[in-house]
Chains A and B, each alone.
Chain A
Amino acid sequence: METMSQFLSSCLPHSPIHIPHPLQRVRIGANAAFVHIRSFMRISHISLTNFRNYARLELAILPGMIVLHGDNAQGKTSLLEAIYYLATSRSPHITADRQLISWLADDEPIPYARLVAEVTAASGLKRIEMTLLAGNRGSAARFKKEVRINGLPRRVMDLLGQILVVMFLPQDLALVEGAPVLRRRYMNVTLCQTDQQYCQALRKYEHTLSQRNALLRNLQEQGRRGDHSQLQFWDETLAATGAMLIAGRHRLLRDLERRAQRIHRDLSGAGEHLRLRYQPGFDVSVEPGGQMAFNAGDLGASALPELPPDEITGRFMEALSACRRDDLIRGITTIGPQRDEMRFLVNGHDLGLYGSRGQNRTAVLALKLAELSWMQEITGEWPILLLDEVAAELDEKRRTYLLERVGEAEQVLLTTTEPSLLPSELLKTAARWHVRNGTITVEETLSG
């Protein structure tokens, strides 16, 4: 992965080497800020059983741009959700996994949903299969996810990175305006798609955090009899894995900030300057007590010095022992990446507090496009793009800007209730699918 990204960054930016795309398709513009990548990854077939309102779907998917249109509540977003779920093992919505299983399957003894994608990649054809089992109704049996890759049972974690996706959703706006948990989720999902080590650290961190919190409560109950030395192991594990999360998130936001700033300038004009600020869930000062604190002022992520993970581990350990008494009283771990924040600033003002709707939309679009370009660079692939209702959500200028940048992707699925909002040039070349009540009909393209 490193050599690939080195290779790519050596042809970046304004690379004289232009690798022609294997299939020339919709190209309504090109931008030097984006790498031209010869990509092979795409989904060639998807099959859904009992997923949302799809009782049964078998669908071959072509490369290029696909416009999914249809009335409200027909299943457009659900198809994108299925692909996103196969790629990340999560829904893009805040929803219980159980809700993905069609409610029509509720009467079956064990309600289940199955998602299968055939993926064409440089390494060959892969079959990715996921089964969601609801467990018996009324019984204690729990919800289960089962993953198979090429027929072999795998861990859920092994799914990540098999299909790369970037999704644009109307509710992305909540990244700026909503609760911090959404932004942490965003950082986690984005990093997990490309970084197995991060993903492993995240799982270990979350597990350790629950054990530590349980221990804090047990110690609280035991009072003076409690053996506090038991905390040491969990503190050390928390600090070591937490440091990897902090280092990963900082690196991510730094890379995204640089890219997002360029895009944001294009979209909003020269007067507005975007910053992404990373605020770790405890003060990772460079020098303890020094003036260069990590959280200080309105510095963006790229202005902060990069800290090696062991240094963060050390600081984390210190911070944990400093607040141990507080943690014991409250019965919960009060510091750490579970409290991390990222903030969007324009000209030093926090958009979450002061941004106008339009400003926030622009910032989110810049972030998502930055994510796309970032993912391309580190993986050397075009991710599959899932664009939900972007035509209705964005004004003409932003819409055009976005569509220009995704026109060359290997595979784009775009939903709309209103195809007439899309550029006619795009409609001429894109495939058109009509979505109605959980069925999809492939239509003739206008140009034929």
Chain B
Amino acid sequence: MPGAIPASVTRLIDEFSRLPGIGPKTAARLTYYLLRTPDENALALAEALRDLKATTRYCSSCYNITEQDPCPICSDEKRDHEMICVVEEPLDVVAFERTQNYRGVYHVLHGAINPIEGVGPDQLRIKELVARVSQGAVREVIMATNVGLEGDATAMYIHRQLNGLVRLTRLARGLPVGADLEYADSITLSGALEGRQEMHE
């Protein structure tokens, strides 16, 4: 039945289905829900989406998502800028900040090495990290990638790139295997941070 669904509706359904965790059915349900809601609600959503992209960017130092560059953490004088904690996702930064126990800065990779999904070192902010460390003035790099094969592969790869340049540590294995950092509770994460160990091949 071509034409049974207006093009603008199909377009939104398609856009929704691109999102992680949303299948075609959910996408259609969300779209028809929005069709029924008052105009101002739908417009508020549209504005929020537009602003999301218009007002945010990557921090040019740590590559976290930010509204101002450098981000509040990188521009905080009181933090220890010689200590960099390397994480996979922006939400991992949130998890570390919740511990209120870490006073260094971050580097966000935006993923982990995962050949099956076509993610190699070039798709991650690894070159930027190496450049940041090579400029000197960094005392320690803490590898805080997720526990599991992909996180380990990423940590080992970075280890090889930075070896000899700086002190490298890895979070202690208090974390459950397969656990995502963003879901770890603050106490576990603080413990893992304190018990971090020198990284060897």
Contacts and interface: CB of A to CB of B under 8 A. Distances in A.
Q: Do A and B come from one complex?
A: yes
Interface of A: 136, 139-141, 204, 207-208, 210-212, 214-215, 218, 227, 229-230, 232-234, 237
- Which of B118, B121, B149, B160 gathers most chain A CB within 10 Å? B149
A234 B156 CA distance: 10
B16 interface: no
A140 B23 contact: yes
22 contacts: A139-B24, A140-B23, A204-B149, A211-B116, A211-B150, A211-B153, A214-B116, A215-B120, A218-B115, A218-B118, A218-B120, A229-B157, A229-B160, A230-B120, A230-B157, A232-B156, A232-B160, A233-B152, A233-B153, A233-B157, A234-B153, A237-B149
A237 B152 CA distance: 10
A140 B156 CA distance: 34
A140 B22 CA distance: 10
5 smallest CB-CB distances across A and B, nearest first, come from A215-B115, A214-B115, A214-B116, A233-B156, A233-B153
Interface in B95-123: 113-116, 118, 120-121
B93 to A, nearest CB: 25
Contacts of B114: 211
B23 A139 contact: yes
Given A136-B25, A139-B25, 8 more contacts: A141-B23, A210-B116, A211-B153, A212-B115, A214-B115, A215-B115, A215-B120, A229-B157
Contacts of A230: 113, 115, 120-121, 153, 157
A227 B116 CA distance: 16
Nearest to A200: B177
Given A218-B118, A227-B121, A211 B149 contact: yes
A214 B113 CA distance: 12
A140 to B, nearest CB: 6
A377 B143 CA distance: 45
Interface in B28-59: none
A297 to B, nearest CB: 38
B201 to A, nearest CB: 9
Contacts of A229: 157, 160
Nearest to B116: A214
Contacts of A139: 23-25
A140 B17 CA distance: 12
Contacts of A232: 156, 160
A207 B149 contact: yes
B39 to A, nearest CB: 31
Nearest to A204: B149
Contacts of A140: 23
Contact of B120 (A141, A227, A237): A227
A212 B113 CA distance: 12
Contacts of B116: 210-211, 214
A140 B157 CA distance: 34
A260 to B, nearest CB: 36
Nearest to B114: A211
A79 B118 CA distance: 43
A80 to B, nearest CB: 33
Interface in B110-149: 113-116, 118, 120-121, 149
B77 to A, nearest CB: 38
A45 to B, nearest CB: 33
A218 B118 CA distance: 7
Contacts of A237: 149, 152
A32 B160 CA distance: 59
B26 to A, nearest CB: 10
- In the complex, which of the residues A204, A227, A233 has the most CB atoms of chain B within 10 Å of its own CB atom? A233
